[in-house]
Amino acid sequence: MLSIQNISFSYLKQKTIPTFSYELYEGKNLAIIGESGCGKSTLLKLIYGLHDLDKGHIFWKDEEVLGPKYNLVPGMDFMKYLAQDFDLMPFITVAENVGKYLSNIDKEKKQERILELLEIVEMTEVANVKAKFLSGGQMQRVALARVLALEPEVLLLDEPFSHIDNFRKNSLRRSLFKYLKEHNITTIIASHDENDYLPFVDEIIVIKDGKQIANGSPETLIANPPNYYVASLFDDVNEIKASYFDDDSTETLLIYPNQLQVADDSKLKVIVSQNYFKGSHYLIEAIYNDGKLFFVSNEEIEIGKYIYLKKK
């Protein structure tokens, strides 16, 4: 188990992580999400031991994670951290970068391992190309293969797909998380893109200003977001008074665009102001008495048209 016990951390006098606690079981995948600057990357660095804690403790099983005060080379051997800079050696090949820390005792086994890892990140075709000739996305995939080569018990990923072309991301995500589950590697991913983690993780932590404000399974947080901030991290979200749907309620509801549909009649009358083509559907922007909202339609709707909406 990874146990994070009442930790806090400051950059100079600025309190970046005021207080944080969490426990993650071995083999589980966790996403840390939140707006830019909320402390996601700092939290990963603390878990890896790149900074000294102001207070608190972090344990993996029975071993405490210690920072630079205690380790000449910061970081823990049983963990690997993939940062947003890739730290590849530019004048050796992709295969050599991946195999740099693998044993040379059995060279045939080493080559098999390198090939396995390059297949996971879809880089076999450039195995013999020097790293300096790679694109940013290719470098990111090689860096990912290299941390997997070291067979970590815990893997920390900071925006691991940010430089990779969209057409490669989906298959790469599936291959990576399948590998991590098969090898029981406890994984924590920090990302802005819900497609990076939503189909793959077991748990999500939402942080704001360094504080944990929500946690749970992906299904739970999406179905029952505790506030607008949490809901907005997954999709566009509308804040609509429940009185538009229910006479007896004074609540304000958080409603995703796909939870609204066109009706023959309702209390929620809107005028269409814009259509956004999303491939499989249109995202429709509309104006109503209390402001602006969004809903989903299978077809484009004429701008200026009045329509009624209801909850699905």
pLDDT digits (tens, 9 = 90+) for 255-281: 999 999 999 999 999 999 999 999 999
pTM: 0.90
Return the residue matching tokens 């470098």: 139
Give every residue of the chain whose pLDDT is below 70, as ranges: none
For residue 68, the model assigns a pLDDT of 92
- Is domain 2-217 annotated with CATH 3.30.470.10? no
* Eight-class DSSP state of 84: S
pLDDT of residue 257: 97
Q: What is the pLDDT of residues 180-196, one digit of tens each?
A: 999 999 999 999 999 99
- List the structure tokens of 204: 């999500």
Per-residue CA distances from 216 to 35, 182, 219 (Å):
18, 23, 8
Position 222 scores a pLDDT of 94
Where along the chain do the CATH 2.40.50.140 domains lie?
A: 235-311
Question: What pLDDT is stored for residue 93 in this prediction?
Answer: 93
Write down the pLDDT at residue 308. 97
Topology of 235-311 in CATH? OB fold (Dihydrolipoamide Acetyltransferase, E2P) (2.40.50)
- CATH 3.40.50.300 segments of the chain: 2-217
Task: Say which residue the tokens 């050696």 belong to.
Answer: 89
Alpha-carbon gap, residue 153 to 69, rounded angstroms = 23
209 φψ region: left (φ > 0), alpha (ψ -120 to 50), beta (else)? left
Rg of the chain on CA atoms, in Å: 23
User: How does the average pLDDT of the chain come out, rounded?
Assistant: 92
